[in-house]
Structures are given as structure tokens and as C-alpha cells.
Amino acid sequence: MTARRSPRIVVIGAGIAGITTAHVLQEAGFTDFTVYEKGDDVGGVWHWNHYPGLTCDVPSQLYQFGFAPKPDWPKIWASGPEIQRYHRDVVERLGLSDRIRLNAEVVSSVFDDATGRWTVTLADGETVDADFVVCATGVLHNPSIPDIPGLHSFAGPVVHTARWDDDVRTSGQRIAVIGTGSTGVQVVSALQPEARELLHFTRTPQWILWAPMSLPQLPFADTVLAASPRLHHALYRGLLWGSGILADIVRKDTWRRRAVQAYARLSLRAQVRDSDLRADLTPDYQPLCKRQVVSGTYYRAITAGNADLVTESITEVRPEGIVTADGRLHEVDVIILATGFRAHDYMRPMTVVGRGGLTIDEAWRDGPRAYRMTAIPGFPNLFTVLGPNSPTGSISLQYTAEKTARYLAQWFDLFRNGEVDRIEVTEEATAEFNAQVAAASETTVWKTGGCDSWYLTESGAVDLWPFDRATLSRMLARPDRSHFRLGADEPLGDSAAL
Ligand code: N01
């Protein structure tokens, strides 16, 4: 057995997944790790996204790290800036700041077959050698810019919500918002009151659950929770348990699913009286099929005198505005693209080259796939946290990130103890896991609900977690050695066959 050694670990990304990984590694006594973050702040999607009205539609007492509970959220559903402040506080409080290098974009990670180590290259040309690479690069990172003819010819500002420009003036302007997901709905609600005119271009309407999103946290809740960490922990566990109902609802066609779907239909019927507008706002697929939108203000905003819903499809953009299929030119001053993300472009645009020169683009030619969200055949000693099939639609992401990071820490510990060198998941175990995912996805509303969404890959596979939380915890409880090839002496095989 080899002597105890200290693995050098590179973590890429300082969002929820990266912060969690750093905390878990620190707690597990790993001393040689650095988190590289291309942005100038931590927080990931909560750093990059700062459009007006940004709110989290998951209650804050659940949307937080289990290891860093915050008693004093001002509201039940926190705003983007509040969540971002929380991320900064956590990093500081847990002593992780020195572990994180900001403005440090990783452009490539290349595995060396001979040494079994990774060479990680930063945008400024610096290179770092590592025993392990952990990609905590996020899901909703790369903005999707629609390919609309003439978009670049528009005379005014065009801004994507995920790269909001604080200098763009919206007050008193004629605003076009394209996109009807959670973001489009939030940004329309936020900008309508001050706009001269707001046009919401809707290609596919969404079901929108009504919820009182600006409710404050209960009076004295912060004092009580701060005074009793045990009670706070119990509340967190209770919410985690309660959120299991959501996983159940999306996975199984039961009365619970039908009750939520009925509530979505009621939310529309009760708030939009005009039957023509209601028809335009009514989706032709089942509620919960796409990522469910939640809002207490959208229907009020879109029925306001200065707002209009445009359902004709967009044909082109001209310098003065947007032209729709009926030939009409909608003159506007600002175009806001709430058109979502390239959600399956994990790790991109980074170059990742694994064993035998296999690139991640080659490995994922038919779409992203991993073993239990974290390991990829052909890429030894590289893992993802919140990678493919992460439960963005059903289970707490913070919980999942922590489970995954603790799972990885066990592998790193085996390496530290000299018990393993190269850790590479087998193609068979990955195929088996993905077959389980495909089978379990068949009954999910994401698959049966009759819609298209960013939850589905181009091949129609569901890129989410179609199991419950207990399954997630079980699959990540401890490394299953039989699913991996371990050690430098293992035959390398033919990566082309992967
Ligand atoms: O993006 P989306 P999002 N012409 O992909 C439309 C999370 N989130 O940024 O449905 C016209 O959902 C597209 O139309 P269609 C959450 O997980 C969370 O809103 O493809 N329209 C759709 O309407 C969410 O799911 C919070 O027909 C075009 C919209 O753009 C995820 O982020 C808050 C178009 C894209 O919707 C992404 O949400 C905000 C085109 N060429 C976001 N191209 C929380 O509260 C696209 N569209 C936690």
C-alpha cells in the first residue's frame, strides 16, 4: 500500500456546487484544493443573473446549504440579491475565500495517460497539475440567444436576462420581452409598472401557479430559529421531506399531481377574466410538464393597460422593432431576451480531453450522460457536481450537491490512503444507470405532459433526476468499486469504443 498522500484537487466553478464542494473538502481535511471561478464573484447563476425582479421561487429556508442555515431570511421567497449576499457570507464565514480564485477561467482540462494527472489551463495561460478535477460548472450557465433574423440590426439595446446590463434604461421605455419561462414572467412583472409600453412575445404559453411571492418570513422566526439551531435543523429537514412531495408529483400520475394541475388551471381562470386573453395564455400541454412557473404578479402585469401579449411568431427584427408573422411591426426601444439557457452544455466552452485523447464533445455526441450525475467513462479522476441528470426539477440542489461532494470525498480519501490511483467509471455501469433513468422517466410529467422543454435533450431523453430523494442518497452513499476501473494497472481499453 502506498503512503498517505495529499491529492491536488481543482474545482471549477464557485456557484452552489463549487461552494459546497469546497466546504466538504475542507471539512474532510483536504488541504490542497483550489476553486477556479471565471466570474468576479462567487454564486454562479445568482452572480450572473441579476435582472430586475429576480426572485427564487423555492422557499429560502429550503433554498440554502444544509451546512449553513440562515435564520433571518427577510422573505419566504428571497430575492436574487439576498441569495447572492448569502453566498458571499457563507464563503466568508466558512473560511473558503482563500480557496477561491475569482476571475480565473479554466479553458481546458487535459488528462495525461502516462502520469494519470490532469493539466488544467487558465485563460491567462497559467497551467496547474491536478490529481482530480471537479467540474462544478452549473446547468443554467450559457445563455441561449435566439437566431432571429435582423436581431443585430436593432437600433436600441438588446439584453439577455442572464447577462443583464444595469445601464439599460427601461423606465418610460417601450419594452419587448421575448420568452415566457420563469425569467420572462419575473422580468415582465418587474418592468411593466414603469414601462411606457410592454410587449410580451410568447411562443409557447406557460402554466403559472399563483403564490404570494413577496410574503415576509413569519415575525420573530429569525429570533426563534437563531436561538434554537436544533429547531432550525428540524425545519430544514421538514422542508426537505415536504419537498419530496414535489418529486412524487412529477414522477407519478396520482391525485396529488392532478390537484396541482387543477390549481394551475384555476390560477389562470381566477385571474384573467378576458376570455380571448385567457385563451392566448392557455398552454396546450399539462401543467408541470415544463419547469413550473410561479408568480403572484404576472397575470396582473399582463392585463395592465400598458401591457400586451403578442402570440404571433416573430419573423424578424428591424432597427425600429420586431416584425411578427402577420406582417405587423411592433416598434420598441429595448429588446429583452428571456430565452433561457443552453442547459445541456455542461462545462462548455471549456475543452475537456480524457483518456486516449477522447474529448467531452466526442463522448457526449448523443447528449450528456454520466454515472449517477458525477462520473463519465473515459475521464478518469474527473467528476461533476450537479452534472447530467441533476434534479433541477424536483429535489433541493444544495442537498444534491452536498451528497455528491461527500461521495467524491470518499473517493479522494481512498486515493489519499493509497488504495486507488485512477478512478474511472465503466461504460457498463454508466449504461445501466442511464437505462434506469430512461425507464423511470417514462412516467414523469416531463415526458408524458405533451410539451417540449429544456428538461429534454435533443434526443428526447430527460436530463433530470426521475427518482426520489432516498434513491439519490442511496446511490451516492458510498463508492461502488465494482462500477469503476481502479488503478493505473487496469487495461486502458479502446476509448473509441466508449
Ligand atoms: O428559460 P426557459 P428561463 N423565439 O428555457 C422562449 C430557472 N429559473 O430563463 O417554450 C421566441 O424556461 C421559450 O419558448 P418555447 C428555472 O429552472 C429559476 O425562463 O421554447 N421565444 C421560453 O418561453 C427555469 O426553468 C428561477 O416555445 C423563444 C423562453 O424563451 C430556468 O431557470 C427564476 C425563442 C425560455 O424559457 C430557465 O428559465 C428564473 C425564440 N427564438 C429562472 N427561444 C427561480 O425562481 C426561446 N424562446 C428559482
Does ligand 1 come within 6 angstroms of the Cβ of 235? no
Ligand 1 proximity of 146 Cβ (cutoff 6 Å): yes
Residues 435-458 have a mean pLDDT of 96
CA atoms within 13 A on the CB side of 240: 18
Q: Measure 151 CA to ligand 1 centroid, in angstroms.
A: 18
Ligand 1 lined by 179 (C-beta under 6 Å): yes
Query: For residues 176 and 321, what is the distance between their CA atoms, to the nearest angstrom?
Result: 9
- 113 pLDDT higher than 80: yes
Provide the pLDDT confidence category of residue 85 given band limits of 50, 70 and 90. Answer: very high
**Ligand 1 center from residue 436 Cα (angstroms):** 28
Identify the residue whose cell numbers are 408568480.
295
The per-residue pLDDT for range 247-296, each reduced to its tens digit, is 999 999 999 999 999 999 999 999 999 999 999 999 999 999 999 999 99
- What was the pLDDT predicted at 112? 97
The span from the CA of 133 to the CA of 36, in Å, is 11
* Ligand 1 midpoint to CA 181 (Å): 4
For the chain, give the longest Cα–Cα distance.
75
258's enclosing H/E stretch is: helix 255-271
Separation of alpha carbons 22 and 134, rounded Å: 10
* pLDDT recorded at residue 4: 83
Rounded CA Rg of the chain: 23
Pull the grid cell for residue 278: 385567457
Q: Is the pLDDT of residue 495 over 50?
A: no
> Which residue owns the Cα nearest ligand 1 atom 36?
181
With a 6 Å cutoff on the Cβ, whether 454 touches ligand 1 is yes
What's residue 393's pLDDT?
79
Least confident of 346-360, 430-444, 475-489: 475-489
| pLDDT value at residue 498 | 35
Distance separating alpha carbons of residues 271 and 277, to the nearest angstrom: 11
CA distance 98 to 120: 19
Average confidence score pLDDT of the chain: 95
What is the C-alpha separation between 264 and 411, in angstroms, rounded? Answer: 44
Give the Å distance between the CA of 276 and the centre of ligand 1.
24
Structural domains of the chain, ranges and CATH numbers in brackets: 9-142+342-497 (3.50.50.60), 151-216+222-337 (3.50.50.60)
The per-residue pLDDT for 332 is: 98
Q: At residue 232, does pLDDT exceed 70?
A: yes
Q: Which residues pair with 384 in a beta bridge?
A: 135
d(CA 469, CA 84): 26
Task: Give yes or no for residue 83 CB within 6 A of ligand 1.
Answer: no
Average pLDDT of 187-196? 98
The confidence band for 471, taking pLDDT boundaries of 50, 70 and 90, is very high
Is 212 strand, coil or helix? coil
The answer to whether the CB of 210 falls within 8 A of the CB of 267 is yes
135 CB within 6 A, ligand 1: no
> What pLDDT, on the 0 to 100 scale, is given for residue 160?
98
Q: Mutation test of ligand 1: which of 49, 182, 335 has the most ligand atoms closer than 8 Å to its C-beta?
A: 182
**Residue-level pLDDT at 494:** 41
Give the pLDDT of residue 497.
34
Bridge-partner residues for 188, per DSSP? none
Whether the CB of 187 sits within 6 Å of ligand 1: no
Look at the alpha carbons of 186, 190, 193, 198 in this order and tell me if their dihedral is positive or negative: negative
d(CA 295, CA 157): 27
State residue 493's pLDDT score.
45
Contact yes or no for 418/445 (Cβ under 8 A)? no
pLDDT for 488: 57
- In angstroms, the CA 283 to CA 90 distance is 40
Confidence of residue 392 (pLDDT cuts 50, 70, 90): confident
The answer, yes or no, to whether residue 28 has pLDDT greater than 80, is yes
So what's the pLDDT on residue 170? Answer: 98
pLDDT score at 468: 95
* Gap from CA of 187 to ligand 1 centroid (Å): 11
Q: Is the CB of 291 under 6 A from ligand 1?
A: yes
Average pLDDT over residues 381-386: 98
